Amino acid sequence: MLNEQLLAGAHAPFWHNGDRITARNYNIIIAALPAAIAGILFFGIPALRVLALAVSSAMVWELLINRLMKKPPTIADGDAALIGLLLGMLLPATMPWYAVIAGTFVAIVVGKMIYGGLGCNPLNPVLVAFAILTLSWKVMLDYDAALVSYEVAFTPLYPLVALKHFGPAVVGKYDIWGLLMGNQLGGIGAVFGLGLVIGGCYLIVRGFIRWEISLSFLAGIFLTALIFNLAGPEKYASPVFHLVTGFSLIGAFFFATENSSSPVNFIPMILYGLGGGAMTVLIRNIGAFPEGVVFAILLMNVINPLVDKIRPRALGRRA
């Protein structure tokens, strides 16, 4: 009798709005698909090979670490697949298999799991992996060399390298709309800018990423490039060129917005985005690398805990 009406105890709230991390990750994967599928269409089966290998090996690495650390498997939350997909999207279609697997190892194990898994990584795991790959296998990530066998109908030069070596006079010939539509060499999922914008807008409207970060990141690139361009138009490319080339768009919508390594308060989000955008253009224009997004965002990840201290005063807090 007593047992029949045994009640369950719990703490409020007794409602939940139904938002789950798993759903968020799968939605980000869906948002990344237009650009990824366009990449497969541009670069063919080798691109599919790289993406498939990146996604599957990332999931296997995470499962192995789960087993090794005697923790329940976490690959169902979609984060490992997402990391694999995003890393694959940065790589050229000709990336050798061992480099892809090494990349996902760095992303999952060094970038995420050793800190305690999802939510504990101080840096964006994909960018950590890409930075290590850049330093380790420089030639493989030279898009001009890697994609030399492709016959294309547009200027067969990675735009940012062309900018670095030949200056804005050469890259001025690139058609901006063509660049946005994917008429450029680069990472599998990073060339089709329009797809990235559509995916990013979807994530913003659904509330899965913070629009403040994406927009301020793009604004940071635009403003800094504009200042350079105004100061020396013969030396520095136009701001719009910077927006549609390299990893600018994929960085703004998919990397700068990674939850764990980005701020959550309004002013810090704006500072973080602007800083990342400005650093990107500084590296591209006067730094050693043609592309700056990866290192710029990693640098902003590092200062994230510091800028996120700028927050509104809590109710009733004595100064």
Partner 1 sequence: MIKRSFFSLAAPKLTYPILTTPSTKPVDIPLPERAQLILDHPLNGPLGIGVGDMVKTGQRCGDREDNYFISPVTGTVAAISATVGYMGKNLTAVSFKVDGKDRPDEEFRNSESSSELERVTRFLGYLPGQPDFSFLTGIRDNLKTVFVSGMDKDLLVSTNSLIAKTEFAELKKGMAIVRKIFEKKRIIYLLPEGVRPEGEIEGVEIKQMPAVYPQFFPKIVMKKILAIEVPTGIRCDEMGAGFLSAEAVSNLGKAFSSGSIPLDKVITVIKKDGSTAFARVRLGTPARHIMDVLGIKIAKGDRLISGGPLAGITLSSVDAPVCGDTDALMIQDAAAAPPISAAHCVNCGECVRVCPAHVPVNMLIRLLENKLYDEAARSFDMLSCIECGLCGYVCPAAIPIFHYVMLGKFEYERARSLEVQNA
Q: Which residues bind partner 1 (CB under 8 A)?
A: 3-21, 23-24, 116-120, 204-207, 210-211, 259-265, 311-318
State how far the Cα of 80 lies from the Cα of 59, in Å rounded to an integer.
Answer: 5
In the chain, the amino acid numbered 8 is A
Residue among 173 and 317 whose Cβ is closer to partner 1: 317
Which residue reads 């294309």 in tokens? 152
In the chain, the amino acid numbered 253 is F
- Cis amide prior to 168 (ω within 30 degrees): no
Nearby residues of 186 by Cβ (< 8 Å), 6 or more positions away: 92, 143, 158, 159, 245, 246
Nearest approach in angstroms of CB 11 to partner 1 is: 4
State how far the Cα of 274 lies from the Cα of 295, in Å rounded to an integer.
Answer: 14
Nearest approach in angstroms of CB 7 to partner 1 is: 5
Residue among 23 and 181 whose Cβ is closer to partner 1: 23
Residue among 15 and 98 whose Cβ is closer to partner 1: 15
Contact 302, 255 (CB under 8 A): no
Residue among 7 and 288 whose Cβ is closer to partner 1: 7
Nearest approach in angstroms of CB 224 to partner 1 is: 26
Nearest approach in angstroms of CB 79 to partner 1 is: 9
Residue among 14 and 98 whose Cβ is closer to partner 1: 14
Query: Helix 45-68 and helix 21-43: axis angle, to 10°?
Result: 150
Nearest approach in angstroms of CB 249 to partner 1 is: 20
